[in-house]
Amino acid sequence: MLLVSGGQVKAQDAAPAAAAPAGGGDAEKGKTLFTNNCAQCHAVSGEKVVGPGLKGIESRAPSRDWLHKWIRNSSAVIATGDAYANQVFNANGKVQMSSFPSLTDADIDGILAYIDQANKPAAPTTGGGDDKVVDNGGGGSASTGGPSELFTFVLIALLLVMLLVLGVLLVIVTILSKAVTPATDGTQVTSSFGQRLKTGLSDAFNNPTLRSIVIWLFLLVAVKETIDGAYGIGIQQGYAPKQPIAYSHKLHAGQYKIDCNYCHTGAQKGKNATIPAANICMNCHGVIKKESPEIQKIYTAIEENRPIEWIRVHNLPDLAYFNHAQHVNVGNVACQTCHGEIEKMEVVEARSSLTMGWCIDCHRRTEVNTKDNAYYDKLVALHRKESKEPLKVANIGGLECSKCHY
């Protein structure tokens, strides 16, 4: 049984095989250098990440020589009082760029050639599947628990209202029947309305039918609550613990648009998405906001050679198997479909229930992403013969116990 299908086809890494690189730089080598050193803060497009987008940088910057100096040591250029350098520095909130003293002129020319090439319209840089987000029709699936909770609430509320109405009706019936029934001695009942109401009420409470109805309804509600409570054990929906460092996804993934995969490197490749080690933080915080007490905690952890003790938010029981790469890479499901809008969260909160019903629900509902994936061609053809419905995860074994349980 294939859990992580090996047959996936991804065009994303197809390097743009474009024409002559600008300025004689080696764009191929430049791409690697850029990915390893610059991509966490810069996009090759015009879009700002931590630093400005580098599209058209050569026409913007004073000269190529200036770029060599800037990239090797930007603070030195700023310190000379260079007007352009200071303007860029101020326009970006005075965030300091890392220095790269080991990069040679040829290395930097390579990077510039790569940036130039990546922005050429003919370059097939859009072949990747990364920015395609499959809408599984489940924008709300990150909160699957919502509707069922609401349903229970409405049910209980309805029951209570019905109970009240029933009680009032019975009281009225008793009072009315008292009022119109002639007394045994032949005279009309002459007691005041207040008195009649009082006897009516006490009669209602003494009425065995009404009493048993009330008791049964009460028991039903109590049992339902207990069962719901028991099922809820181990469910962490809504869990949002305070973390040891005030790290914010809203700031990093939202405002600065740092890619999820830059930190959660396992999500595309394996079972666990993984939490970044402190040295990934240091790629930036080696220079950015060193003086902040929160950032100092990262330094302390590294000095004491111990990991930062992040509190785990999502956790499946050991009996269940879940694989990120299967969903994110092969299935093309967006992180947000399961985790909600992490890029808007100051503190991470578990948005999905992570129950078996949640997994199965989605597998019943979601179509398999078979496009550009030769692995599924035969399966799709077979399925078409049998059914007019699109191929759902349920059809490829997504409901089999053994797929999710060891």
User: C-beta of 224: minimal distance to ligand HEC in Å?
Assistant: 18
Q: Which amino acid is at 7?
A: G
118 vs 354 by CB, closer to ligand HEC: 354
Query: Which 198-227 positions form the footprint of ligand HEC (CB under 6 A)?
Result: none
- Segment lying near ligand HEC (by CB under 6 A), choices 21-29, 32-40, 122-130, 179-187: 32-40
User: C-beta of 207: minimal distance to ligand HEC in Å?
Assistant: 42
Q: Is 312 in the site for ligand HEC (CB under 6 A)?
A: yes
* Cα gap 362→359, rounded to integer Å: 5
- Segment lying near ligand HEC (by CB under 6 A), choices 23-31, 64-72, 208-216, 377-385: 64-72
User: C-beta of 323: minimal distance to ligand HEC in Å?
Assistant: 6
- Segment lying near ligand HEC (by CB under 6 A), choices 45-53, 145-153, 155-163, 167-175: 45-53
Q: Is 313 in the site for ligand HEC (CB under 6 A)?
A: yes
Query: Which 383-402 positions form the footprint of ligand HEC (CB under 6 A)?
Result: 393, 396-401
170 vs 263 by CB, closer to ligand HEC: 263
**Ramachandran quadrant class, 332 (left: phi over 0; alpha: psi -120 to 50; beta: rest):** left
Q: Tell me how many residues contact ligand HEC (CB under 6 A).
A: 107
Query: Which 221-260 positions form the footprint of ligand HEC (CB under 6 A)?
Result: 234, 243, 245-247, 249, 251-253, 256, 258, 260
Q: b/e string for 312-351 if b means 16 or more Cβ within 10 A?
A: ebeeeeeeeeebbbbbbbbbbbebbbbbbebbebeebbbb
Show Cβ contacts of residue 383 under 8 Å, excluding neighbours closer than 6 positions.
391, 395
Total count of residues recorded for the chain? 406
Q: Which amino acid is at 198?
A: K
140 φ/ψ angles, rounded to the nearest 5 degrees: -95, 0
User: C-beta of 291: minimal distance to ligand HEC in Å?
Assistant: 8
* CA-wise closest residue to 281 among 270, 292, 271, 272: 292
User: C-beta of 138: minimal distance to ligand HEC in Å?
Assistant: 6
- Segment lying near ligand HEC (by CB under 6 A), choices 9-17, 36-44, 194-202, 205-213: 36-44
User: C-beta of 36: minimal distance to ligand HEC in Å?
Assistant: 8
Query: Which 342-381 positions form the footprint of ligand HEC (CB under 6 A)?
Result: 342-343, 348, 354-356, 358-360, 362-363, 366, 368-369
User: C-beta of 98: minimal distance to ligand HEC in Å?
Assistant: 4
Work out the number of other CB atoms within 10 angstroms of the CB of residue 155.
12
* CA-wise closest residue to 274 among 236, 296, 244, 307: 307
Show Cβ contacts of residue 283 under 8 Å, excluding neighbours closer than 6 positions.
40, 98
Show Cβ contacts of residue 117 under 8 Å, excluding neighbours closer than 6 positions.
16, 18, 21, 22, 27, 123
Q: Is 284 in the site for ligand HEC (CB under 6 A)?
A: yes
* Cα gap 251→38, rounded to integer Å: 19
199 vs 243 by CB, closer to ligand HEC: 243
